[in-house]
Amino acid sequence: MGEPNTKLRARAAAKPRGRAAATKQRILDCALNVFAEHGFDGTTVRDVAADAGVNHAMIHYYYSNKEELWRAAVAHLFGRIDKEIDYSAEFLETLPTEAGFKEFVRRYVRYCARHPEHARLMVQESIRGGERLRWAVDEFIRPKHQLLAPATLALIEAGKLPDVSPMSLIYIIVAASQVPYMLQAEMEMVFGADLQSHQAVEAHADAVVAILFGERRGDAKAAPPLRDAPQWARRKPAKSAATPRRQST
């Protein structure tokens, strides 16, 4: 009788822990969105609590102040990108290859499309500078760039990527991947296209890869034109090779 009772108690104890973990994740997800929209100074703990649907006292139960909440949210953000892009040793081994780097860029574009709040929050902090940004750079951003730099340098040396400053190239990739989703409302008004559609995200990933690797029309499989793009923003279909005229005899 003792063993079943022990299992029941363990399951009963696990339920509150599971609910608490889910609540903390919801708080951190909402904190990221609110900080990204309003900035650190424009955000209150009550704003985050309202967005998460919890009492602000619950947030203070987990985090002693807004600064601690911000740091927890940013740590959650960088933990999320690690999981979604997959920086496993097996994947990192492929990065110095053209195929591996292209796959990394595609994963990064998809991540940026799913989580535009990441770039928006970091832009807020970069504009201000200061200790919060320094902490994020030291803890997460610089180590990630140091992880990716050897592959970038190897592909530049191999003539696969443009022969430009690696520092510039890394942030060109960052900007090309992030900006359409930071400016999503503007782009959708201009082009009338749904940038979050699977087709649009994959087309943008194709575009970033093609620009980085100097692909020209015909070098790679062309993405189909977006169905909802305006006519003035659509590519003309590629011309097929003309059939030579038969000489009359």
Digit-by-digit pLDDT tens for the chain (249 residues) are 555 566 544 454 445 567 888 999 999 999 999 999 999 999 999 999 999 999 989 999 999 999 999 999 999 999 999 999 998 889 999 999 999 999 999 999 999 999 999 999 999 999 999 999 999 999 999 999 999 999 999 999 999 999 999 999 999 999 999 999 999 999 999 999 899 999 999 999 999 999 999 986 555 554 555 556 666 556 565 555 444 454 544
- pTM, to two decimals: 0.82
Domain match, 48 and 116 both: no
Whether residue 107 contacts residue 166, with contact meaning beta carbons closer than 8 Å, is answered with no
Any domain includes 240: no
Backbone angles phi, psi at 238, to 5 degrees: -65, 140
Any domain includes 72: no
Any domain includes 6: no
The number of beta carbons lying within 10 Å of the beta carbon of residue 114 is 14
For residue 36, give the CATH number of its domain. 1.10.10.60
Given the structure tokens 């595609």, which residue do they identify?
A: 106
pLDDT of residue 231: 63
Of 87, 28, 105, the residue nearest 59 (C-alpha): 28
Whether residue 73 contacts residue 25, with contact meaning beta carbons closer than 8 Å, is answered with no
Whether residue 201 contacts residue 109, with contact meaning beta carbons closer than 8 Å, is answered with yes
Those residues whose C-beta lies under 8 Å from the C-beta of residue 195, and which sit 6 or more positions away, are 113, 180, 181, 184, 187, 188, 201, 204
pLDDT of residue 233: 57
Rounded Cα–Cα distance for residues 216 and 50 (Å) = 50
How many alpha carbons fall within 13 Å on the CB side of residue 120? Answer: 20
Domain match, 55 and 129 both: no
Domain match, 117 and 194 both: yes
Domain match, 28 and 142 both: no
Domain match, 41 and 161 both: no
Domain span holding position 54: 19-66
pLDDT of residue 13: 44
Domain match, 93 and 60 both: no
Rg of the chain (C-alpha set): 24
Domain match, 45 and 125 both: no
Sign of CA dihedral 115, 116, 119, 120: negative
pLDDT of residue 246: 47
Q: CA 130, 136, 205: angle at the middle one, nearest 5? A: 120
Domain count, the chain: 2
Domain match, 54 and 121 both: no
Q: Which two tokens stand for residue 12?
A: 């009963």
pLDDT of residue 234: 60
Question: Is 32 exposed, middle or buried (CB count within 10 Å of its CB: 0-12, 13-18, 19+)?
Answer: buried
pLDDT of residue 172: 96
Q: What would the DSSP string read from start to end of 183-216? A: THHHHHHHH---TTSHHHHHHHHHHHHHHHTT--
Domain match, 94 and 47 both: no
For residue 194, give the CATH number of its domain. 1.10.357.10
